[in-house]
Amino acid sequence: MSVPGEGGGDDKAMSDINVVPLVDIMLVLLIIFLITIPVITQTVPVELPKVANQPTKTKPENVTVAVNATGDVFWNQSRVPDDQALLELVKSVAVQDPQPEIHIRGDGRAKFESVGRVIYLIQRGGVVKVGFITEPDRGLR
């Protein structure tokens, strides 16, 4: 190490930045944040519901209503011509005892309006149990 002004060395100013104090300060701040973050993020203790994804047990009396990408509605496997016909079909199964479940299979490309209209007609028809059929998450992201 040379000190300027001694022994005939260069008298130029030092142009390098000393980063050691900066690193020391950043490490101290990191430690402070690591210690204080768990204290700050405390929330109100609540009992969250447990996830129980049961596979659907399809019973023969259950009804499947499908909505394809163009908005066409299918009752089990047959196409329903209009909303009034769907409402009559829903009313016919709503009076059964026990009342069957209606499972809705909506195409991913279908408009929300089409599926919403089907849900509204099922509600007007008096069916209590309605479920949605989806594909299981295969972990593909």
The per-residue pLDDT string of the chain (141 residues; one tens digit each, 9 = 90 and over) reads 555 555 555 667 777 888 888 999 999 999 998 888 776 666 566 666 665 666 666 666 889 999 999 999 999 889 999 999 999 999 999 999 889 999 999 898 889 999 999 999 999 999 999 988 887 766 554
What tens digit of pLDDT does each residue of 81-120 get? Answer: 999 999 999 999 999 988 999 999 989 888 999 999 999 9
**Pick from 64, 43, 52, 74: which is nearest to 130 by CA?**
64
In one letter, which amino acid is 34?
Answer: L
Cβ distance 100 to 63 under 8 Å? yes
Domains (range + CATH), the chain? 63-132 (3.30.420.270)
pTM: 0.56
- How many residues can be counted in the chain? 141
